[in-house]
Amino acid sequence: MIPIKRLPAPDVLSRNEERWRTAFLEERARDPQKRPSSKQYAHPDIVSTLEAMSHHKCFYCEQSTKQTQREVDHYIDVAEDPTRAFTWENLYLSCWECNHRKQPHRAIPATCCVDPCAPDAQPSAHLMFEKELIRAREGSAQGLATIKKYKLDRKDLDHKRLKQLQLFNEALVRIKDAQIADGRKDMNENEKAVLRSFCQPDFPFSLMFKVHLEQHRL
């Protein structure tokens, strides 16, 4: 998870939000199980704006949504607050796994978790990594709640993070070999740039690499 800066609401939502919400709430008054239409809240223009905000990554786990099914998630569940079903600030981009494994608001309220879209969001203050394994930083309650709510410690994610980490470690070995061959102690700027590219916001699992680069003092 990394901080996400929200772009302005797409036109299709600004134009229709009020009408969609009113119609949905009327239907829900008749049928309390009624769900909002994903053709509306997950309109292609809404998805593409959310993708632009997150560099095509899940807001929660940072895996690329180009390689997995993506969905529009309601940050505050529809069951908890149906009036926010079409509220732009409540729409997040999620991979299928984070969305479907998510614990309901009543079990773990989103308000107890790290919100990547909060103006002062600092996921790295609450989440850290030991190799590919996610941990709450210094026992952060918000970090722990976030890991539990979205199941960020699940096996499929550990496996994907490990594969990316292996690419980082291979780059590190190549750099160390070049340093030995050249009789250098320090990395040159090109080598530092190669390692820093892993923690750019468009790179999958960039928070994990930020933590690892800090350990390498880069």
69 or 188: CB nearest Zn ion: 69
Position 41: which residue type?
Answer: Y
Min CB(57)–Zn ion separation in Å: 8
In degrees rounded to 5, what are phi and psi of residue 187? Answer: -75, 145
Contact partners, residue 133, CB within 8 Å, separation at least 6: 153, 158
Query: In sequence order, what DSSP letters do the residues of 61-113 get, joined into one string?
Result: T--BTTSS-EEEEESS-TTT-GGGTT-GGGEEEEEHHHHHHPPPTTTS-GGGS
In degrees rounded to 5, what are phi and psi of residue 133? Answer: -90, 125
Min CB(155)–Zn ion separation in Å: 14
Min CB(91)–Zn ion separation in Å: 15
Min CB(96)–Zn ion separation in Å: 8
Residues 53, 92: Cα–Cα separation, whole Å: 10
37 or 68: CB nearest Zn ion: 68
First to last CA, the chain: 20
Min CB(152)–Zn ion separation in Å: 8
| CA 181 and chain centroid, separation | 40
Min CB(90)–Zn ion separation in Å: 17
Residues 6, 40: Cα–Cα separation, whole Å: 19
Residues 86, 75: Cα–Cα separation, whole Å: 11
63 or 142: CB nearest Zn ion: 63
95 or 207: CB nearest Zn ion: 95
**Contact footprint for Zn ion (CB under 5 A):** 58, 60-61, 95, 98
30 or 155: CB nearest Zn ion: 155
77 or 191: CB nearest Zn ion: 77
The closest of 139, 6, 116 to 62, measured between CA atoms, is: 116
